[in-house]
């Protein structure tokens, strides 16, 4: 039964995509919160340099040595970026744009010069081919399973272990680096550890999904999760869930429309982001429109209570505080005046005796609350 699971191409493709998504979103969450998510783009391109350097030294195209080499390249990318930014002559985003094209281009040149006949090329690194992950297998504990599933399982476990073990340090280093430094938690070291894992995840994923889908998984699911919650733990869980959903739905849609699997998975992460942007409970566009409309209606009710309060006790009260007078005094249309009256009655701010409107104690208190700052 277990072997039949590993022998199913579709399941292996979805499993690989889900593992890449989980591993990437775990580290990507903290990059997004720190505002440094585009470092993942720089790292995913510059690891080409690390991959070819490791191959020139060891002649290995995969395995832990390649992962370590790429991780060190990611650290080098960040180190050079920060060194340039520290000169104050260029900003961080410009420094990123200077460093990673240089490392990437050097890597491409070295591949063309020394590794033309080796299964290492910029197309593989950038695009990958997740549809073929089930073909490259390895035997483990008597079972034959895809190498991509094995390596991504290891990387996902390592990333999850890192987040769980250093959760407090990561949280403080992300939201309050000064406090983390004061407490002796070395936020810079924690950040470099996070970048090493980002680089390791990128190189473990490059042969199967490529850098493009990796970047999508690093940035988009955490960004969508950020629109849905303010809690870090929930953000991590939602990001992982979105990644799994994108991998599964992306595979089936790609099969149905006969298009690129990696591209469809990336597209589904974008669909999740759009859904979060529109329907998020707090930051979603629909929720904001509802809140604005609710605030607009609440302000209209406040205006009505102040108007009624100002005319209480006057001899012309019955004329001034009549429903028909609202259109003249407050410049409201008949439709809006009717809606405000209904809202005010529902909120218990006013009572109506025929055509005359009277404030309740609640409505009178609200009017005083509005007028007091002006006294």
* pLDDT tens string 187-240: 888 888 888 888 888 878 876 777 778 889 999 999 999 999 999 999 999 999
Q: Does residue 166 have a pLDDT over 60?
A: yes
Q: Does residue 254 have a pLDDT over 90?
A: yes
Least confident interval from 88-102, 163-177, 234-248: 88-102
Q: What confidence tier does 375 reach under pLDDT thresholds 50, 70, 90?
A: very low
Task: Return the pLDDT at 127.
Answer: 56
Least confident interval from 169-173, 216-220, 280-284, 320-324: 320-324
Correct CATH for 2-283 of 3.40.50.11540, 1.10.10.10, 1.10.3470.10, 1.10.8.590:
1.10.3470.10
Report pTM.
0.81
Task: Return the pLDDT at 128.
Answer: 63
Q: Does residue 122 have a pLDDT over 60?
A: no
Half-sphere exposure of 320 (CA within 13 A, CB side): 14
> Is CATH 3.30.70.330 what the domain over 286-374 is classified as, yes or no?
no
Let me know: does 108 contact 122? Beta carbons within 8 Å.
yes
Domain boundaries, the chain: 2-283, 286-374
Mean pLDDT of 115-121: 61
Q: Which of the listed ranges 18-27, 65-74, 117-126 does the model predict with the highest average pLDDT?
A: 18-27
Q: What confidence tier does 62 reach under pLDDT thresholds 50, 70, 90?
A: low
Let me know: does 50 contact 195? Beta carbons within 8 Å.
no
């Amino acid at each position: 039964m277990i072997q039949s699971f590993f022998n199913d191409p579709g399941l292996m493709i979805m499993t690989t995509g889900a593992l890449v998504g989980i591993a990437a979103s775990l580290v990507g969450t903290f990059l997004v919160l720190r505002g440094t998510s585009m470092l993942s783009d720089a790292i995913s391109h510059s690891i080409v340099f690390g991959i070819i350097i490791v191959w020139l030294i060891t002649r290995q195209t995969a395995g832990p040595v390649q992962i370590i080499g790429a991780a060190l390249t990611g650290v080098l990318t960040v180190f050079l970026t920060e060194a340039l930014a520290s000169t104050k002559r260029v900003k961080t985003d410009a420094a990123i744009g200077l460093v990673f094209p240089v490392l990437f281009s050097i890597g491409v040149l070295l591949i063309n010069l020394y590794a033309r006949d080796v299964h290492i090329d910029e197309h593989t690194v950038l695009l990958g081919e997740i549809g073929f992950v089930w073909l490259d297998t390895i035997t483990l504990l008597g079972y034959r399973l895809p190498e991509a599933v094995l390596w991504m399982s290891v990387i996902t476990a390592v990333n999850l272990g890192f987040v769980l073990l250093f959760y407090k340090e990561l949280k403080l280093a992300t939201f309050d680096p000064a406090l983390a430094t004061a407490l002796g938690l070395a936020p810079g070291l924690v950040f470099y550890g996070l970048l090493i894992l980002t680089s390791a995840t990128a190189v473990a994923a490059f042969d199967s999904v490529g850098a493009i889908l990796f970047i999508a998984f690093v940035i988009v699911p955490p960004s969508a999760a950020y629109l849905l919650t303010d809690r870090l733990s929930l953000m991590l869980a939602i990001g992982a869930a979105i990644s799994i959903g994108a991998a599964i739905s992306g595979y089936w849609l790609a099969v149905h429309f006969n298009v690129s699997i990696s591209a469809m998975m990336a597209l589904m992460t974008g669909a999740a982001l759009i859904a979060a942007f529109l329907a998020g409970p707090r930051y979603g566009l629909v929720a904001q429109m509802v809140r604005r409309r609710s605030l607009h209606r609440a302000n209209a009710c406040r205006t009505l209570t102040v108007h009624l309060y100002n005319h209480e006790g006057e001899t012309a009260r019955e004329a001034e505080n009549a429903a028909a007078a609202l259109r003249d005094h407050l410049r409201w249309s008949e439709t809006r005046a009717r809606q405000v009256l209904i809202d005010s009655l529902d909120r218990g701010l006013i009572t109506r005796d025929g055509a005359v409107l009277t404030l309740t104690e609640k409505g009178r208190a609200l009017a005083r609350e509005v007028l007091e700052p002006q006294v």
